[in-house]
Amino acid sequence: MNAPHPTAPLREQLYRDMDPLNLTPLWEVLHALVPPQPASPCVPALWKYEEVRPFLMRAGEAITAEEAVRRVLILENPALRGQSAITQSLYAGLQLILPGEVAPSHRHTQSALRFIVEGSGAYTAVDGERTTMRPGDFIITPSWTWHDHGHDETGPVVWLDGLDIPMIRFFDAGFAESASSKSQAVARAEGSSFARYGHNMAPVRHDAPFGLASPIFSYPYERSREALDRLERDAPVDAWDGVKLRYINPLTGGSPMPTMATFMQKLPAGFSGKPWRQTDGAVYSVVEGNGEAVIESGGQSWRFAFSPRDHFVVPSWHTARFSSERGCVLFSYSDRPVHQALGIHQEERLS
């Protein structure tokens, strides 16, 4: 038997005596504080739309959009229950709006993205300009812009909300306020932002109306899809990503909003991708087609068979690879711009 270390009682007594002064010995926690590589508490998770949708529709019976302010079911990481987080830094939720409803106008420092999952004809209004929502469209609500959502047409409309809520909470930097009127007055014609900034041109003056965020509110699916189709036909397919593009702020070439990067990718039919890992955990929304994601970390492995409108999360530094027999299209977002701004982004492409 090993004799107890002669200093052990000394240390125990030290810890007990200094505890009331809120003092803790670094050497007991150093390894966990400065890990040799990221050790995310998040786990990979998949939400099948066919399983989630009935609960969204029940939410539609249980509460109005106006009473809820935002009628959303939060996609919580199973390892972070109660924290309204899908990764340590990101929030995801599915928002439902029904014909005739209004989600009242407010603004907050948290940035939001919308990715339209089901239905058409709802609108979101951002600082006086409305944008009609269609499946596959990517829409932004920059920090501190007034926004309300409404629906004057038919059928339920569901979209994915991606926000930097946990990140802003981490920094204790959140502000919010409600508007005095439910819906904003329309100040500009629909499509005027896209006309000004969406054609590789920009106004001659005043060309950054939303500071760090993109002046384009809506990136229509047909444009993104057309680009991916053309690249699939005419350019080499990447062995890890298939055909993948990032959305940009046309004024800077950077991400549409400072805290979140967004991507659209197509896996061609028969694609069997090589594995990769990156420090930015990412949330995926399946747009079209079926496929499989295999995610591995610390000897554990997850295999997700995904279909249109399903959502899944790949946490930081988990190894992932994608495949698709008949081809598919995936939208995703992550906190990559923050990693890049801090100079800590890491990516590995494995073979």
Distance in Å, CB of 149 to ligand GTQ, minimum: 6
Distance in Å, CB of 125 to ligand GTQ, minimum: 11
Q: Give residues 35-64 in contact with ligand GTQ (rule: CB under 6 A).
A: none
- For residue 45, count other CB atoms closer than 10 A to its CB: 20
Q: Give residues 224-263 in contact with ligand GTQ (rule: CB under 6 A).
A: none
First CA to last CA distance, the chain: 47
Return the number of the residue (148 or 241) whose C-beta is nearest ligand GTQ: 148
Return the number of the residue (105 or 265) whose C-beta is nearest ligand GTQ: 105
Q: Give residues 103-132 in contact with ligand GTQ (rule: CB under 6 A).
A: 108, 112
Residue 145: φ, ψ to 5°: -95, 140
Q: Give residues 285-314 in contact with ligand GTQ (rule: CB under 6 A).
A: none
Closest-CB residue for ligand GTQ? 161
Distance in Å, CB of 88 to ligand GTQ, minimum: 17
Q: Nearest 5 degrees, angle CA 63-CA 64-CA 70?
A: 95
DSSP state of 325: S
Q: How far apart are CA 244 and CA 330, in angstroms?
A: 9
Return the number of the residue (42 or 72) whose C-beta is nearest ligand GTQ: 72
Return the number of the residue (76 or 241) whose C-beta is nearest ligand GTQ: 76
Residue count, binding to ligand GTQ (CB under 6 A) = 9
Among residues 77, 87, 89, 95, the one that binds ligand GTQ under rule CB under 6 A: 95
In contact, 212 and 140? CB cutoff 8 Å: no
Query: If binding is defined by CB under 6 A, does position 98 make contact with ligand GTQ?
Result: no
Return the number of the residue (93 or 198) whose C-beta is nearest ligand GTQ: 93
In contact, 119 and 156? CB cutoff 8 Å: yes
* 18 Cβ contact partners less than 8 Å away, ≥ 6 residues apart: none
Distance in Å, CB of 141 to ligand GTQ, minimum: 6
Residue whose structure tokens are 């004809």 = 121
Query: If binding is defined by CB under 6 A, does position 101 make contact with ligand GTQ?
Result: no
Return the number of the residue (103 or 314) whose C-beta is nearest ligand GTQ: 103
Return the number of the residue (112 or 228) whose C-beta is nearest ligand GTQ: 112
Q: Give residues 156-185 in contact with ligand GTQ (rule: CB under 6 A).
A: 161, 163
Which among 114, 308, 120, 146 has a CA at the least distance from the CA of 218?
Answer: 114
Distance in Å, CB of 130 to ligand GTQ, minimum: 15
Distance in Å, CB of 97 to ligand GTQ, minimum: 10
113, 241, 256, 297 from 288: Cα distances, Å: 19, 16, 23, 27
* 247 Cβ contact partners less than 8 Å away, ≥ 6 residues apart: 138, 219, 224, 255, 256, 261, 262, 263, 264
Return the number of the residue (125 or 329) whose C-beta is nearest ligand GTQ: 125
Q: What is the DSSP string of 25-51?
A: -GGGTHHHHS-SS---S---EEE-HHH
Tell how far CA 344 is from the center of its chain. 19
Query: If binding is defined by CB under 6 A, does position 70 make contact with ligand GTQ?
Result: yes
The contact pattern for ligand GTQ, residues 127-156, with x = CB under 6 A and - = no contact, is --------------------x---------
Q: What is the DSSP string of 239-300?
A: TTTBEEEE---TTTSS-SBTTBEEEEEEEPTTEEPPPEEESS-EEEEEEEE-EEEEEEETTE
Distance in Å, CB of 122 to ligand GTQ, minimum: 12
Among residues 44, 60, 93, 166, the one that binds ligand GTQ under rule CB under 6 A: 93
Among residues 42, 72, 96, 117, the one that binds ligand GTQ under rule CB under 6 A: 72
Which among 191, 99, 101, 114 has a CA at the least distance from the CA of 145?
Answer: 114
Q: Where on the chain is the footprint of ligand GTQ (CB under 6 A)? A: 70, 72, 93, 95, 108, 112, 147, 161, 163
